[in-house]
Amino acid sequence: MTDPGPSVRVVSDLEEVARLGAEEFITTASRVASRGPFRVLLAGGRTPEPMYRLLASEPTRSRVDWNSVECYFGDERPVPPEHPDSNYGLVKRTLLEPLGMRAPRTYRMRGEASDLTLAARRYEALLRNRFEKYPPEEPSFDLVYLGLGEDGHTASLFPGVEILDDPPRLVLAVWVEALQSMRVTATYRLLSAARRVLFLVAGREKASAVQRTLATNGREEPSPASRVASSSRDVGWILDREAAAALPKAAAR
C-alpha cells in the first residue's frame, strides 16, 4: 500500500489555525479518556499562543476534562520560567493561569538549570517513569504539537544539530550554532513515537520552510521538520494561507 503522506489542511488565518488545533486537542482528549490520562506534548512560539488562549476560555474550556490531562514540552530555552522567552512561561500565562483550579498536571523542562545536560536526562527519566516505558520501549504521546521555523527547525532540532542514536536518547541538551545558545529538546526518537503529530504553522515568512518540508524537489537538504514528518505514524499539518503560499495545490489535502 502506498503511504498517503501527511494530511495538510490550509485555512484562512492564524485564528482558524488555533481553532482547529484546539478541536484536535478536545477530540483526542475525549477519545483517550476511557483508557487513562491524555498526554500531550506542547510547543512554544507565537503560533500556538492563540490556541492556548482559546482552550482556556469558555465555552472551549468546559469541553475538556482537565483532570485527565498531562502536559509536557517539546523543548525549552535556557531561561527561567518567568522569562518572556520561556516556553513553559507562555503556556503558564495563556493556559494554566486562566484555567485556575482546573489547570492540568504540567511537567516543565528546567531551562534555568546550570547543567542542561543533567536537566535533559532528568526530563527523560521523568517521561519514562510517568509513562512506565523503559528501553527498548519508548513513551508514546497521544498528541504532539509542533511548530516550524523559517530555517525548517522544529522543537529545538535546528539545521546542523546532530542527534546521535547511540545510545538512544529521548531528550537532549544541544548547542544551536545559529543562536549561539544551548537548548533542551525532544529528539526525533521521542517525537516519532507519538500516536499523532500536528504541525501548526502560520505566516508568509514560513512559506519557504513549508515548501522545503512538504514539497521538496530532491535537490535540497531535508529540513529537520521533514525528518519528523516522514518518520511519525500519523502526521497532520494545519497551515494558514500565507504559510501555504509556496506549496503546489496537490500538496494540500
- pLDDT tens for 52-88 read 999 999 999 999 999 999 999 999 999 999 999 999 9
DSSP per-residue string spanning 138-166: ----SEEEE---TTS-BTTB-TT-----S
181, part of any domain: yes
Q: How far apart are CA 248 and CA 215, in angstroms?
A: 8
25: left (phi over 0), alpha (psi -120 to 50) or beta: alpha
Choose among 10, 38, 4: nearest CA to 200: 10
CA dist 9 and 33 (Å) reads 26
Q: Is position 1 within any domain?
A: no
* pLDDT tens per residue across span 87-116: 999 999 999 999 999 999 999 999 999 999
206 phi and psi, to 5 degrees?
-95, -5
- Give the lowest-confidence range in 13-17, 137-141, 158-162, 226-230: 226-230
pLDDT > 60? residue 3: no
Is residue 2 situated within a structural domain?
Answer: no
Better-scored residue on pLDDT, 248 or 200? 200
Residue 44 maps to a domain? yes
Spatial contact of 145 and 21, defined as CB atoms under 8 Å apart: yes
152 in a domain, yes or no? yes
Q: What is the DSSP letter of 186?
A: E
Instruction: Return the pLDDT at 252.
Output: 59
AA letter at 140: S
Q: Return the pLDDT at 111.
A: 97
Range of the domain at 39: 7-247
CATH code, domain carrying 60 = 3.40.50.1360
Residues 54, 48: Cα–Cα separation, whole Å: 10
116-129 pLDDT, tens digit each: 999 999 999 999 99
Count of domains observed in the chain: 1
Report yes or no on 99 lying in a domain: yes
252 found inside a domain: no
